[in-house]
Each structure stands twice: as C-alpha cells, then as structure tokens.
Amino acid sequence: MKKTLLTSIAVIAIGILSAQDIHFSQFTQSPLVINPSSAGFFDGYYRATANYKNQWASMGKAFNTMAAAFDMPLGIKRRKSAYFGVGALIFNDKAGDAGMKKFSASLNASGIVPISPYLKMAAGLSAAFNQQSINLSNLNFGNQYNGNGFDPNIQSNELIDQSYSFFDVGAGISFGYNNARGGFARDDIFKINFGIAGYHLNRPQQSYFSGGTDRLYMRLVAHGDARIDFPKTKFSIVPKALFMMQGPNMEILAGALCRYRLQNGTKVTGVTSESGISLGCSYRYGDAIIPEAYFEFANFAAGLSYDLNISSYKQVSNLGGGFEISLKYINLIDALFDKRIK
C-alpha cells in the first residue's frame, strides 16, 4: 500500500518536479548556478567550486544534488580595459524510489567591463545540455494488480518515456564594487555584488509523456551579497539575499554572517592570503531556517549548512530538511598586478 501511494505521488509529481531547477542554500558558493555573468567575475586567475546537498532524507529516498564548476577570466592582467570570462558547470540530481535524475552540462561566457578602479560590470550567456530520466522498473501501476498483489511481470502500458534531453540558454548581468585601494596598509573592506539573470529563455519542450507539449518555465533570478568590515576590528558583517521565480514556484532567501578575520593577507607580495571564519543564519521564506558556517584558509574555503524545515511538512520531516557542503578554491591575483595600486 505504501509503495502504491508513493507510485501515485511520483507519477503526479513527474510533470511538476521536472519543471523545477536545482537550488543550493549556499548560493554564494555556487555562482554559475544563479548567474552566467559570474563566469570570470572575481579577482583571481581561476576558480573551482563543488557543492553537495542531501535533502528530505525523512522521505526515505533523499534528493542528492551534486554540482561542480570551473571558471576563469581571460586577459586578467589587462584589467584597465574590458576582458572576458569563461566557465563550465555540471550538476546531477537524483531522487526518489524511481531514481528520477537530472543532469546538466553548461558552458558560460561573459564580457567584463571596469567602470572605475572600484566598480565593474559583467554580462554573460550560458548554453546547456540537459537530460532527465526515470527508472520505471522501480514503480508499480494500477494495471499491474493481478487480483492478489502487484505483478512486475505484467506490462504497465504506461506511455511514459524513461528519458528525454533538451538544450536551453540563459543570460544575466552582474555588478561588483570593491573599495580596496592597494598599498602597504590593510584597507577596511566594503564590497558588494548583485545581479539579475534568466534561465531557459528559449522555453524548451520537456515531458516524460509521449507526445507531451509541456515547456519548461523560465527561471528568473535576482541576487546580492556584501562584505562590510567594522573599522579597526577583525569583524565583518556579510549579508546576502536571493529571489528566484520559476512559473508558479518562488523562492526568497535572506540572511547574514558574522565574519572574524584570523589572518591578514600580504597586500603587496600576495604571498599570504587572508583567512577567516564566518557564522550566521539564513531564512528561506515559508520553508526553512538555515544555520551556516564558513571557513577560509588562504585560497581555500569550505561551507557547511543545514536546512531546518519549518513548513507544514515539518510534521513528517521532524524539522529535517537538507545537509549541504561547499568547497571552493580561488587562485587570487597577486597585489603587484592589481591595477588599483598607486
């Protein structure tokens, strides 16, 4: 009976879940997931990120989402003029008894324009190959009932394709401000990044049902984050916010971290990068409270978070939502090459 109920829910949800994109609570640690103009839009030679999320373990078969990305600017030493950024992103998502899978591989390209020594903007495009699949052998259907029980040897005759693929495109713009001036003395940092983006702009056709004509909703994104140092202290506040809408689905997430600087970076030689630890909390509207911790050491960073479910589903989840981890490596710009040094 339980599996029959899960089967019914799964079949109904096929058309719904396949229309929603993946998301990470640590969205600042997965920049190419939320904006293609993020490709190469950082002060470094290259950047690599990895993300993993295990969600809804209380359902028995958790959602497991993995993503990896690499991006870099081109011609970074000529930053007084416009330059380009390139990047690649892959992710894989698997969930449920039916092993519903989503795989995507995208290429991203951006054009980055310095507006002033402290302000720059980027515009970017992405092109992605997507594949979605489901294992119907793990599901039971009503016409497989033989009078005594379900017989997997009886053909279900359901007109459901086990996989389909499609291409789609996205676009976005980003702005970044950083007041660091360069020189020997350490600056109190104020920096802010924000942007808007759209994914599935071509509304690709997608459906598990043969002959289906459903089209994927566009995903619209607005995001921002900042770092504000408290003068003459080792403390900073790091606020962030994210808004996403995809058809009838909407996500609003906002939060802040308190960051403590463990070690200053060497500004002129670039031999030592700054290290720090950040603790804080975010709130996803109507869904979850998310405690977070980030650790930065030299060019490496790691993040940990957990979604505490507070929606109406909490009666089943017992507050359990999703565990998430992120890893990042950035090969930072040596200060000797920073155009802001006077």
Q: Which domains does the chain have, with CATH numbers?
A: 2-136+184-337 (2.40.128)
What does the pLDDT read at residue 180? Answer: 76
What does the pLDDT read at residue 86? Answer: 97
Does residue 4 sit in helix, strand or coil?
helix
**Angle ∠(100,101,102) on CA atoms, nearest 5:** 135
What does the pLDDT read at residue 266? Answer: 57
Helices (H), the chain: 2-17, 31-34, 314-317
Q: How far is CA 159 from the centre of its chain?
A: 33
Residue 86 bridge partners (DSSP): 72, 109
Helices (runs of H) and strands (runs of E) counted in the chain: 3, 14
Q: How far is CA 201 from CA 70, 170, 183, 190, in A?
A: 23, 6, 44, 34
What does the pLDDT read at residue 121? Answer: 96
Does residue 29 sit in helix, strand or coil?
helix
What does the pLDDT read at residue 40? Answer: 94
- How many angstroms separate the CA atoms of 104 and 69, rounded? 12
What does the pLDDT read at residue 8? Answer: 39
- How many angstroms separate the CA atoms of 167 and 22, rounded? 16
Residue 60 burial (C-beta neighbours within 10 Å; 0-12, 13-18, 19+) = exposed
Q: How many CA atoms lie within 13 A of 90 on its CB side?
A: 4
Tell me the per-residue pLDDT of 169-202, one tens digit each, with 9 for 90 and over.
Answer: 999 999 999 987 655 556 688 999 999 999 999 9
What does the pLDDT read at residue 165? Answer: 86
* Residue in 61, 49, 55, 70 with CA at minimum distance from that of residue 22: 55
Q: Mark the ranges of the chain whose per-residue pLDDT is less than 50.
A: 1-18, 268-271, 335-337, 339-342
**Angle ∠(309,314,317) on CA atoms, nearest 5:** 85
Residues 6+ apart with CB under 8 A from 219: 21, 198, 199, 200, 244, 245, 246
End-to-end CA distance of the chain: 73
Q: Are 14 and 134 in contact (CB under 8 A)?
A: yes
Q: Are 81 and 339 in contact (CB under 8 A)?
A: no
Q: Are 241 and 209 in contact (CB under 8 A)?
A: no
Q: Which tokens go with 199?
A: 């994914």
Tell me the per-residue pLDDT of 262-282, one tens digit each, with 9 for 90 and over.
Answer: 987 655 444 457 889 999 999
Q: Which tokens go with 327?
A: 């890893």
- How many angstroms separate the CA atoms of 239 and 255, rounded? 6
Q: What are phi and psi of 337, to 5 degrees?
A: -100, 0
